[in-house]
């Protein structure tokens, strides 16, 4: 039986972006020999690529892989890909939806409670050598419980749905912003974003990147916010960063927590670093130590269904 080569782009020197040996070894007992090949291998013939597994594939890559049949994304987002082209050419596209949901929610909860309990202010006092209750008393009026606070969840996919349930359980007043009206909570569509952000305490951005959402958080929208906290774990290019900074400076925003950015990685001279009330994390909201264990379960299931031609039983199918 002919072996199957799986081409991947997990070739960075980071635990999340390099396939563990135990992951590869787990496929060696398969009846059909499975080989994992780095897509950067210069000896690769692009016409041999049937299965691709990774995060950084582009439309031009797909078009050059004339015999590709299945793409599995190690992430959730696929907004950079032409779904029409993939579908027209009968290419299977699956993603890793569900693997990062809990991690992202916990990260968002961490941001919310960091702001509400003043943890970021405490850290600033510590770093300046002024960590006393007397100095912290200056921030007394900013320390509040989150129950009864108003939160706007922008994007109502799997993470947004679960997050809305949790925040509602914590007695926060939940409203939603999405492409279509939702019945579960008070809901706004994207063209009503100016109205949606008014009088909101926490704005949580989970929106994917599209023509509709690119730069959607701009000066006009930030001007409608009052004493709000802005959290972005969606897509960096949905936010105009210079407008966010201006909103911080004039006080429309009390603080911001950003896990994604217009350009990544952040350059060290990026002005975002200059603000103590802006929390920065390096695109790790979906990260946890069980990623590869969970990825193995998902990819193994889909690979077995693919090899058996049971394509309808593959999980997380987009096309």
| Model pLDDT, residue 140 | 86
Alpha carbon distance 139, 146 (integer Å):
16
126 and 225 part of one domain: yes
222 and 146 part of one domain: yes
Of the candidates 56, 162, 283, 301, the residue annotated as catalytic is 283
* CATH number, position 202: 3.40.50.720
Q: Is 283 part of the annotated catalytic residue set?
A: yes
| Residue 26 maps to a domain | yes
Alpha carbon distance 287, 285 (integer Å):
6
| Model pLDDT, residue 155 | 97
| Model pLDDT, residue 181 | 84
| Model pLDDT, residue 1 | 58
Alpha carbon distance 282, 259 (integer Å):
6
Alpha carbon distance 84, 164 (integer Å):
31
DSSP readout, 175-218? EEEESS--SSSEEEEGGGHHHHTTT-SEEEE-PPPSTTTTT-BS
User: 75 lies in which domain range?
Assistant: 4-99+288-313
33 and 114 part of one domain: no
Please name the residue that has the structure tokens 């979906």. Answer: 286
Alpha carbon distance 301, 89 (integer Å):
23
| Residue 126 maps to a domain | yes
| Residue 107 maps to a domain | yes
Of the candidates 264, 267, 301, 313, the residue annotated as catalytic is 264
85 and 174 part of one domain: no
57 and 179 part of one domain: no
N-terminal to C-terminal alpha carbon distance within the chain: 28
- Residue bearing the bigger pLDDT, 94 or 17: 94
Alpha carbon distance 149, 112 (integer Å):
11
254 and 109 part of one domain: yes
36 and 177 part of one domain: no
179 and 75 part of one domain: no
Q: Into how many domains does the chain fold? A: 2
152 and 235 part of one domain: yes
Structural tokens at position 168: 């509602």
173-178 and 150-154 strand pairing: parallel
| Residue 318 maps to a domain | no
Average pLDDT over every residue of 144-161: 96
210 and 119 part of one domain: yes
Report pTM: 0.92
Q: Is 235 part of the annotated catalytic residue set?
A: yes
| Residue 319 maps to a domain | no
262 and 236 part of one domain: yes
114 and 253 part of one domain: yes
In 3D, which of 247, 295, 306, 285 has the Cα closest to residue 92?
306
Average pLDDT over every residue of 131-138: 88
| Model pLDDT, residue 14 | 76
pLDDT tens digits along 213-242 = 999 999 999 999 999 999 999 999 999 999
pLDDT tens digits along 45-96 = 999 999 999 998 999 999 999 999 999 999 998 988 999 999 999 999 999 9
Average pLDDT over every residue of 242-254: 98
- Residue bearing the bigger pLDDT, 141 or 145: 145
């Amino acid at each position: 039986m002919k072996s199957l080569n799986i081409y991947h782009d997990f070739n960075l020197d980071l635990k999340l972006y390099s396939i563990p040996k135990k992951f590869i070894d787990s496929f060696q007992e398969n009846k059909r020999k499975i080989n994992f090949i780095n897509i950067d291998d210069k000896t690769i013939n692009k016409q041999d690529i049937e299965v691709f597994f990774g995060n950084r594939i582009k439309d031009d890559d797909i078009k050059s892989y004339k015999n590709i049949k299945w793409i599995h994304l190690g992430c959730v987002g696929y907004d950079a890909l032409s779904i029409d082209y993939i579908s027209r050419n009968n290419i299977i596209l699956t993603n890793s939806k569900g693997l990062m949901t809990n991690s992202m929610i916990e990260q968002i909860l961490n941001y919310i409670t960091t702001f509400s309990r003043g943890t970021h202010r405490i850290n600033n006092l510590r770093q300046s050598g002024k960590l006393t209750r007397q100095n912290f008393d200056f921030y007394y009026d900013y320390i509040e419980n989150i129950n009864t606070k108003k939160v706007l969840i922008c994007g109502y996919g799997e993470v947004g749905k679960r997050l809305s349930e949790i925040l509602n359980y914590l007695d926060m007043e939940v409203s939603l912003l999405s492409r279509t009206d939702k019945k579960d909570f008070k809901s706004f569509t994207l063209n009503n974003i100016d109205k949606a952000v008014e009088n909101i305490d926490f704005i949580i951005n989970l929106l994917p990147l599209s023509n509709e959402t690119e730069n959607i958080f701009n000066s006009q929208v930030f001007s409608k916010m009052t004493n709000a906290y802005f959290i972005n774990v969606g897509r960096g290019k949905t936010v105009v960063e210079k407008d966010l900074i201006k909103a911080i400076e004039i006080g429309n925003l009390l603080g911001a927590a950003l896990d994604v950015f217009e350009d990544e990685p952040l350059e060290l001279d990026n002005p975002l670093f200059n603000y103590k009330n802006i929390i920065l994390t390096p695109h790790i909201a979906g990260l946890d130590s069980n990623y590869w264990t969970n990825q193995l379960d998902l990819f193994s299931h889909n690979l077995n269904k693919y090899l058996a031609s049971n394509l309808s039983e593959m999980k997380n199918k987009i096309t």
